[in-house]
Structure formats: structure tokens, C-alpha cells
């Protein structure tokens, strides 16, 4: 979706909130993919994606078009939600998968849920090199995780990353450079 199309869509949404469905259809897949590539867990990704779009839906009327596009705004909300999840996970380090493995609570039993979860997790684990990078990426500070994942998982440009994270381009470049060093060290230590 181009910037002009986004601008028109924003006007349509402000006129009638039901048009938010168009925005949802356009951006749910890239945002869900971004979250999934960051956290690499189906259940968590689904929760964060729904929280992201709920926040966007509730705040779209107060969205004022300045420099940032709607897609960057959605990535920004998702990034904040992911950071919130990692902060909480630090305090409660038991993962959802471990709880499910130990039968500590019921796994939803609908066929669709299981099929989708299995398919997505298969897709994630099929990319061994990505999984290795992702695992080591989560060991870094969130400020490095954000820039590295947006740059190398989402293939965003420096300008786009600066928009999403509301930081200057110079800051992004320096975070990327330091983040790459830290990630390389982490990967070397792991092997």
C-alpha cells in the first residue's frame, strides 16, 4: 500500500470505523510474521498480534498523520508489545510451550488451532540458521533486538527503522553496528 493509499484509507477509517477491516487485511500478515520471527512461538505471536491490532483499532481515531506511515505505526506498536512480552518473560521465565509439555493447562483442541500451530512451528524450525540467530538475538538488549530484527528479518531500510523506532538514522546505524558485534560474539560463544 502506497503512502497516498494509506492516507486515503485513514480518512475512510475516520469516517467509518468498519473500514479498519481493510487495514487489518492488508497488514495483519506482515505484522504477524514480524512478531513470529521475533518471538518464534505461535501462541505468543498470536496474543501479541491481537493486542497490537486491538490497540491500533482503539487509537486509530487519534492517529495524526505526521512523518510516520500507518505501517510504521503498526510496527511500532508491535515492537512495544514484543518488548513488553520479553520484560514480563524475564520475571516469569516459564515458557508457554513448557507449561503445555508438562500438561499444566489444557491445550485448545480445535483442529484448526493445532494444524495452524504445527504448520507455523514447522516453518520456523525448518530454517535452522534463522533459529540459531533468533535464539542468540533474544539474549541481547531489546534496543539491539529491535534494530537487528527489523534490518535482517524484515529487510527494512535504515530510514524505515528510524521511523518505526522513532530514532535518528545515525542512532540506528550505531545500534546496528554494535548489535552486529554483540550478535556475532554471542553466536561464536554458543558454538
Partner 1 sequence: MKEDKFEKRLDDLQVPHINDIRHQQILKFALLNSRKSSQIGVAFIVIPCLFLFFQFIKEWFGLDFHFFSTFEGFMSHLDKIPLLKWIFPIVLVGLPIVTIMINSLSIVHFHWDKINKELLISLKFKLFNIILILISIFIVLVFLFYLVHENIYEQVLRSLD
75 binds partner 1 (CB under 8 A): no
Residue 106 is a binding residue for partner 1 (CB under 8 A) = yes
User: Which of these ranges, 59-67, 115-123, 157-165, 167-175, lies near partner 1 under the rule CB under 8 A?
Assistant: 115-123
114 binds partner 1 (CB under 8 A): no
Tell whether residue 63 is a contact of partner 1 (CB under 8 A).
Answer: no
Angle (nearest 5°) at CA 166 between 163 and 168: 85
Give CA–CA dist 81/4, Å, rounded. 27
Site of grid cell 530484527 = 149
Taking the C-alpha atoms of residue 176 and residue 186, their distance in angstroms, rounded to an integer, is: 15
Contacts with partner 1, 161-190, as mask; x by CB under 8 A: -------------------xx-xx------
Residue from 12, 20, 83, 178 in contact with partner 1 (CB under 8 A): 20
- Residue 127 binds partner 1 (CB under 8 A): yes
Q: Beta-strand (E) ranges in 57-114?
A: none
Part of the chain binding partner 1 (CB under 8 A), chosen from 26-34, 70-78, 138-146, 156-164: 26-34
Which residue shows C-alpha cell 491481537? Answer: 50
Closer residue to partner 1, CB minimum distance, 115 or 166: 115
Amino acid at each position: 500500500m502506497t503512502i497516498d493509499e494509506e492516507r486515503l484509507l485513514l480518512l475512510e477509517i475516520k469516517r467509518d470505523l468498519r473500514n479498519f477491516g481493510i487495514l487489518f487485511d492488508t497488514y495483519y500478515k506482515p505484522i504477524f510474521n514480524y512478531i513470529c520471527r521475533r518471538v518464534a512461538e505461535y501462541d505468543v505471536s498470536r496474543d501479541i498480534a491481537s493486542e497490537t491490532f486491538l490497540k491500533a483499532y482503539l487509537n486509530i481515531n487519534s492517529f495524526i498523520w505526521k512523518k510516520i506511515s500507518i505501517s510504521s505505526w503498526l510496527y511500532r506498536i508491535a515492537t512495544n508489545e514484543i518488548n513488553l512480552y520479553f520484560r514480563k518473560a524475564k520475571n516469569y521465565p516459564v515458557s508457554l510451550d513448557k507449561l503445555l509439555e508438562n500438561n499444566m493447562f489444557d491445550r485448545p483442541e480445535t483442529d484448526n488451532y493445532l494444524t495452524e500451530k504445527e504448520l507455523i512451528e514447522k516453518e520456523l524450525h525448518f530454517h535452522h540458521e534463522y533459529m540459531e540467530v533468533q535464539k542468540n538475538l533474544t539474549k541481547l538488549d531489546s534496543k539491539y533486538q529491535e534494530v537487528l530484527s527489523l534490518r535482517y528479518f524484515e529487510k527494512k531500510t535504515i530510514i524505515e527503522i528510524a521511523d518505526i523506532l522513532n530514532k535518528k538514522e545515525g542512532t540506528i546505524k550505531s545500534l546496528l553496528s554494535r548489535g552486529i558485534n554483540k550478535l556475532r560474539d554471542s553466536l561464536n560463544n554458543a558454538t
